[in-house]
Amino acid sequence: MTAKPKLALYWAASCGGCEIAVLAIDEKILEVAAAFDIVLWPVAIDAKVHDIEKMADQSIDVCLFNGSIRNSEQEYMAQLLRRKSKILVAFGSCAHEGCIPGLANLAGREAIFDYVYRRSPSVDNPQGIVPQPEFEAPEGTLHIPVFYDTVKTLDQTVTVDYYVPGCPPEAENIYAIVKAVVAGLGGAPLPPAGTVLGKETTVCDECERTRNEKKIKAFKRTWEMIPNETDCLLEQGLVCCGLATRAGCGALCPKVNSPCIGCHGANAGVEDFGARMMTSLASVIDSNDPAEIRRIIQAGIPDPVGTFYRFSLPRSLLRRGALAGNGRGH
Amino acid sequence: MSDERFEPKIIAFLCNWCSYRAADLAGTARMKYQPNIRTIRVMCSGRVDPSFVLKAFSLGADGVMIAGCHPGECHYLEQNYKAMRRYEMLRHTLLAMGMEDHRLRLQWASAAEGNVLSAAINEMIEQVRALGPLNWPGLWSENGGHQAAIERLPHEHAEALEVSA
Amino acid sequence: MSEKVGVYICHCGSNIAGTVDVVELAKFAGELPGVTVSREYKFMCSSLGQELVAEDIQKQGLTRVVVGACSPHLHEKTFRRACAMAGLNPYLMQMVSLREQVSWVTEDKALALDKAKAMISGGVRRVQLQEELEPTPVPVNPNTLVVGGGVAGIQAALELADAGYPVFMVEREPSIGGHMAQFDKTFPTLDCSACILTPKMSDVGTHDKITLLSYAEVEEVTGFVGNFHVRIRKRARGVDEKDCTGCGICIEKCPRKVVDEVFEAGMGYRKAIYRPFPQAVPKFPVIDRANCTFYERGTCKACEKFCPTNAIRFDQEDSFLDLDIGNIILATGWDLFDARRLSQFGYGRLANVFTNLEFERLCNAAGPTDGKIVLRDGVTEPKSIALVHCVGSRDKTTNPQCSAVCCMAALKFGHLVMEKTQAEVTSFYIDIRAPHKNYEEFYDRLQDEGMHFVRGRVAEVTDAARRPEEEGKLIVQVEDTLVGKQRRLPFDMVVLMSGLQPRADAREVGLRFGISCSMDGWFTERHPKLDPVATMTDGIFIAGVCQGPKDIPDSVAQGAAAASRIQGMIARGTVMIEPVVATIHEENCSGCRICNNLCPFNAIEFLAEKSVSYINAALCKGCGTCVAACPAQAISGAHFNNQQINAEIEGLLYDAVRGNGGAPKPVAVPA
């Protein structure tokens, strides 16, 4: 019997949603299990990293790597799986862009530890102990991963072959990449390295709402209004990131009357998602008075980083906020 | 170049019709300004994409200036208003990310205002000099220490799992 | 595949080389990735310099050229042409300004070299991503639209029509002639204004190549140079032009008298059905419906009763005309400064304070007083007249500009007063501006004729007498700067030389045609020195005072200049549209419509069936605003695209700190 192709799935700094999303392909998971020999999937099977280390390089055919890189162990695993895999897929928004863990880039290790371990209302830590990467115990020296100041994307760590965007990716797209890889392993041509699975246009293309020219006098928060179901959400005043977000999700959120928040990442060729949102929203503000423009922006978008870089901060051009301790930042 | 004094590097986007001509006029009139500004010619301040500004900061610029025609005098009628709106949005975001205000500057200068532009350039250079180097890419270059942690891991795994004969 | 870049550093004599070490700079450039040839030369713009480039293109197979020299505004065309003649597409050349932007503005030579290196580095990286571009030829429609029937518009129209090209003239008022038709005499020749103007007006009215659309306005303009579509609203005169003979009986019989605020400057009357003045072109009268008894109450109809050819049409409605036009000249003239804004001069409050335009009507033999210079009572002849210069001109609180004509007009008034009356006339001036041919001599003449001059800004015109001699007079309070004293001088009549202002709707009108006004409201010319009649919008020209205050000879010259430009374009038959335009990539466009209202030139339209937006390249001016705004990054801007500008930024910051270290990689040129 010929050996089945090997499949690895790993989670770095993530929420576990991508793992569940894999299961969202429902019974097709059985096809996957039938087609592949799953050699690593910490959430589901009890494989050992050491066994992966002992494999020959490139013996894993495809690795679906979700989660961003924010500590030394995750970085090690990214490097290891890159070495051991023919095809490394950045699976889900965390691996692709940083996603929600990436918002920690508005702080740094010191500030995070200080809050989590000392100042949080529910913490009881009178000695102010924070994790250290190294600890001398009577039994020997203990090591835990080094916690980075800056969250990185997978491709800021190792070379990535393909990206499946989304938080989490849509079931159809997950199934599609699996099928493409299976076909590729069977000799069919694979997409060019670096391809992001999804369309090359933005969510507006998939959204069925009516669109007119945009003239914005105020940005509204989602809790301030219930939008109607027919008109463009931006025209109704809500910040809908569908403008700049890569299509491929079927405009799911606008379909249920909720503005798109951008989990599918930027359109093809775009380096910085937030810049696209900033420029498009700003350009159509209906005012030529600097004071009024400033007021509209400050009142309607009180958290610009959270609004424009909710999923993409580590992937953006500036990657992170300023670090405290140099006179700026948090 | 002085070793003690910090020499900022500032990128300026000048619009072809007004501010670039203002810079030309400053040159023709031999108005001296500090050389820390490096200019890029675009047809209109409306061409300036926020991603250009972010790109400049991400490559180590200490400041960025966007210069265009006075409101109401844009060669393309009203495009500098869009530049103004984008500047406000960009500024709002950059402040939230912890960047100081004076590192991004929106400057109007008509083709006849070589003096205004050169004065603004000098002023901005001094403001940025006082703020110090930005070195934004330095924020994400990690300190050493984790390379050792990474290299240690396979040994720890082996230690934990290999059963000695 | 990488490009072969040739870099040429110009010494520009010592203009660059005196501050920037050009030899060192050329050496630095030669080591940049992609550069195969790097030279420095004394004068790159000379024919030898250009030959240097041409030879390298041909012999060394250069695919890109960077010239580090003066401002591209001076020699970009030169070097583009040099490349084109050597067989390299002209858009594959980039100029880096080392003179205006480096050597001329930097003192420290070492820092100047650093800056020069960065600028060259930016240019070298950018040029490798530039693409071949070709301009597009479009045909030029020989029809010209002239907007405004004042002397500038008239001159333009006649020159084009005499050259054999069709002209459509649109004039807002019922007759052409503009302000010049209101004047009495013109300086310095003292020609009768109407006498020199009406023959030209008549030519316009009878010319077989000119279609005169009076009492009409331009509603909408679309299209681009050589190919405009203009919609004109012909307002309803109430008179059928085919039947009207211009006999004027309707005017005679009309019982309603209305104050003529326009032509008579409020000094006289006209009827509800009227011609602005007897020599009006066209001769057809107009019914002022707001003041006509028929429209108010449904009665009267005297005009209709007495019209021998049954030409009155009370039910006539505005009609529309759609025209295909090649080029447009805006000659829309000026408004008079409203002297009531300067209440210290008493205009509108003190009866015998007049404006210059009112005074013209007084002097004019066809005016409300048959040319007699009299006070408001219509009878009393003034014995002393004051002329106050710079009312609403040279004044930071109202208009800072000089109105160019008022000093000469004041001298003219002085002469007319002394010719027609025994009155003493005094000019109160800041400076006497008499710059043109025979103007200074006219000033001399008026001094000889006995006109009085007081150098000082009038503080106040008042009727509040302080001494018995001042009773019943208008007192001009002024600091006589040549004598060094405050003076109060009594006059019977004061004439305010009100300044010229842009039309109240100039900005709106400009936008309708796609041109802009400067901060002070005059239309913006393409270059104030070298191109005063063209605008930034190809195919739209300006002439006369709408471009800025000027006298009649200059207005005529500008009208002729605009006509001449257009004649050249029509004679060539085609005009080249610059290829620096934006393009929407349909496959990336989601139809979000963010770009749709960002183009003041209406180049962007939404294609509903495809649900994408589309840019008409002929209308696109290449500003790049939509390129920067597109959230999907689906719009690219030729010659200023994202990759080129990003590469330039990378080059400019080649020596900046990078957290991850390392010099920038060579430019990745698309295969």
Burial of C527 (0-12, 13-18, 19+ CB in 10 A): exposed
CATH topology of domain C336-501: FAD/NAD(P)-binding domain (3.50.50)
Residue C590 has its nearest CB partner, among A202, A214, A277, at A202
Instruction: Give A-chain residues touching C592 at CB under 8 angstroms.
Output: 202, 204, 211, 242-243, 280
pLDDT score of B63 = 98
Considering only A16-30, A283-297, C207-221, C255-269, which range has the smallest mean pLDDT? A16-30
Give the model confidence (pLDDT) of A116-175 as tens digits.
Answer: 999 999 999 999 999 999 999 999 899 999 999 999 999 999 999 999 999 999 998 898
The identity of residue C565, as a single letter, is R
The pLDDT of residue A172? 87
Residues of A in contact with C596 (CB under 8 A): 213-214
Residue A324 has pLDDT above 50, yes or no: yes
Residue of C533, C428, C545 whose CA lies nearest to C179: C545
Q: Which residues of A touch B78 (CB under 8 A)?
A: 288
How far does chain C reach from its first CA to its final CA, in angstroms?
Answer: 6
pLDDT level of residue A308 (50, 70, 90 thresholds): very high
Strands C136-139 and C574-577: antiparallel
pLDDT in tens, C591-612: 999 999 999 888 999 999 999 9
Q: Which two tokens stand for residue C347?
A: 């205009």
In a domain, B32, yes or no: yes
Dihedral of CA atoms C102, C105, C106, C109 in degrees, nearest 10, equals 60
pLDDT of residue A327: 37
> Which residues of chain A from 240 to 259 reach within 8 Å of chain C, CB to CB?
242-244, 247
Q: Using the beta-carbon criterion (under 8 Å), do A279 and B58 form an inter-chain contact?
A: no
pLDDT at A2: 67
Beta bridge partners of A306: none
Q: Is B1 on the interface with A (CB under 8 A)?
A: no
> Region B17-39: what's the mean pLDDT?
95
**pLDDT, greater one: C536 or A170:** A170
CATH topology for the C5-135 domain: Rossmann fold (3.40.50)
Average pLDDT, chain B: 92
Contacts of C118 (CB under 8 A, 6+ apart): B9, B38, C651, C652, C653, C654, C655
> Tell me, what's the pLDDT at A33?
87
Q: What is the pLDDT of residue A319?
A: 96
* Count of C-beta atoms within a 10 Å radius of residue C235: 18
Q: Is some CB atom of chain A closer than 8 A to the CB atom of C670?
A: no
Interchain CB contact of C634 with A (< 8 Å): yes
Kindly state the percentage of chain C with pLDDT values over 90: 93
Residues of chain C with CATH 3.50.50.60: 144-334+505-572, 336-501
* Contact call for B72 and C628, based on CB within 8 A: no
Instruction: Name the pLDDT band for B144 (thresholds 50, 70, 90).
Output: low
**Cβ of B97 and A305 within 8 Å?**
yes
B115 domain residue, yes or no: yes
Confidence of residue B74 (pLDDT cuts 50, 70, 90): confident
Stretch among A169-178, C316-325, C565-574 having the lowest mean pLDDT:
A169-178
Predicted pLDDT at A240: 97
Q: Which of C587, C591, C629 sits opposite A280 (nearest CB)?
A: C629
Instruction: Express each pLDDT in A248-288 by its tens digit.
Output: 999 999 999 999 999 999 999 999 999 999 999 999 999 99
Triad C15, C19, C23: Cα angle to 5°: 95
Q: Which residues of B touch C659 (CB under 8 A)?
A: 135-141
The answer on pLDDT for B65 being more than 50 is: yes
Q: Is residue B14 part of a domain?
A: yes
pLDDT at C662 over 60: no
Nearest CB neighbour to A278, from listed B89, B161, B162? B89
Residue C661 has pLDDT above 50, yes or no: no
Instruction: State how far the Cα of C665 lies from the Cα of C154, in Å rounded to an integer.
Output: 62
Q: pLDDT category, C89, cuts 50, 70, 90?
A: very high
Query: For residue A63, what pLDDT is reported?
Result: 96
Its CATH architecture, for the domain C144-334+505-572, is 3-Layer(bba) Sandwich (3.50)
User: Residue by residue, what is the 3-state secondary structure of C542-600?
Assistant: ECHHHHCCCCHHHHHHHHHHHHHHHHHHHHHCEEEECCCCEEECCCCCCCCCCHHHCCC
Evaluate if residue C393 carries a pLDDT over 80. yes
Instruction: Indicate whether this complex's ipTM tops 0.90.
Output: yes
pLDDT tens digits for range C508-520: 999 899 888 887 8
Query: How far apart (Å, rounded) are the C-alpha atoms in residues C41 and C50?
Result: 10
Question: In this structure, what token pair is assigned to residue C475?
Answer: 């007192």
Question: Average pLDDT of chain A?
Answer: 93
In angstroms, the CA A293 to CA B86 distance is 10
Sign of CA dihedral C211, C214, C216, C218: positive
Task: State residue C520's pLDDT score.
Answer: 85
pLDDT at A179: 86
Residues of chain B neighbouring A290 (CB-CB closer than 8 A): 84, 88
pLDDT for the residue numbered C515: 87
Which residue range forms the structural domain that includes residue B89?
10-164
- Any idea which residue has 């219509």 for tokens? C378
- Pick from A150, A9, A167, A158: nearest CA to A99: A167
Q: Which residues contact C612 (CB under 8 A, 6 or more apart)?
A: C584, C586, C589, C590, C591, C606
Residue C137 identity: P
pLDDT for A31 beyond 90: no
pLDDT of C96 over the 90 cut: yes
Mutate to test the interface with A, among B90, B93, B147 (most CBs of A within 10 A): B93
- Answer whether residue B2 is part of any domain: no
Say whether pLDDT at A39 is over 90.
yes
Q: pLDDT class for A329, splitting at 50, 70, 90? A: very low
pLDDT at residue number A326: 46
Of C593, C629, C631, the CB nearest to A211: C593
The string of pLDDT tens digits covering residues C189-226 is 999 999 999 999 999 999 999 999 999 999 999 889 99
**Which residues lie closer than 8 Å to A33 by C-beta, 6 or more apart?**
none
- Write b or e for each residue in C432-442: b if 16 or more Cβ atoms lie within 10 A of its Cβ, otherwise e: bbbebeebeeb
Sequence ranges of chain C with CATH classification 3.40.50.960: 5-135
Kindly list the distances between the CA atom of residue C191 and the CA atoms of A91, A216, C186, C188, C367, in Å, as whole numbers in the listed order.
87, 58, 5, 8, 17
Q: CB distance from C660 to chain A under 8 Å?
A: no
What's phi and psi for B104, nearest 5 deg?
-115, 125
What is the pLDDT at residue B143?
A: 59
**Contact call for A275 and B50, based on CB within 8 A:** yes
Side chain identity at residue C644, one-letter code: Q
Distance in angstroms (rounded) separating the CA atoms of residues B92 and A301 = 9
Residue C459 has pLDDT above 90, yes or no: yes
| Selection from C499, C529, C165 nearest residue C329 by Cα | C165
The band of B4, judged by pLDDT with boundaries at 50, 70 and 90, is confident
Enter the tokens of residue C219.
Answer: 């509603």
Q: Which residue has the higher pLDDT, A182 or A226?
A: A226
In chain A, residues with a C-beta closer than 8 Å to the C-beta of C593 are: 211-214
* Chain B residues touching residue C518 (CB < 8 angstroms): 72-73
Contacts of B73 (CB under 8 A, 6+ apart): B18, B80, B110, C516, C518, C519, C524
Across chain C, mean pLDDT equals 95
Question: C666: pLDDT confidence band, cut at 50, 70 and 90?
Answer: low
Interface contact A211, partner C, CB < 8 A: yes
Q: Do A205 and C591 touch (CB under 8 A)?
A: yes
Q: Is any Cβ of chain A less than 8 angstroms from the Cβ of B51?
A: yes
Q: Which domains are present in chain A?
A: 6-100+150-185 (3.40.50.700), 203-308 (no CATH)
Report the 10 Å Cβ neighbour count for A118: 14
User: Among B109-113, B138-142, C619-623, which is the least confidently predicted range?
Assistant: B138-142
pLDDT for residue C468 is more than 60? yes
User: Distance between CA atoms of A93 and A18, rounded to whole angstroms?
Assistant: 9
Q: Thinking of the domain C582-637, which architecture would CATH place it in? A: 2-Layer Sandwich (3.30)
One-letter identity of residue A267? N
Contacts of C505 (CB under 8 A, 6+ apart): none
Dihedral, B139, B141, B145, B151 alpha carbons, nearest 10: 150
CATH code: domain of residue B79: 3.40.50
Q: What are phi and psi of C349, to 5 degrees?
A: -115, -45
Q: Which residue is it, tokens 């070709």?
A: C134
Residue A142, classed as helix, strand or coil, is strand
Instruction: Please indicate, yes or no, if residue B101 is contained in any of the structural domains.
Output: yes
pLDDT band with cut points at 50, 70 and 90 for residue A330 = very low
Is the pLDDT assigned to residue C317 strictly greater than 60? yes
C-alpha A267/C-alpha A247 separation (Å) is 8
Burial, B135: exposed, middle or buried (Cβ in 10 Å; 0-12, 13-18, 19+)? Answer: middle
- Domain-located, residue B5: no
Alpha-carbon span C42 to C537, nearest angstrom: 37
pLDDT score for A3: 82
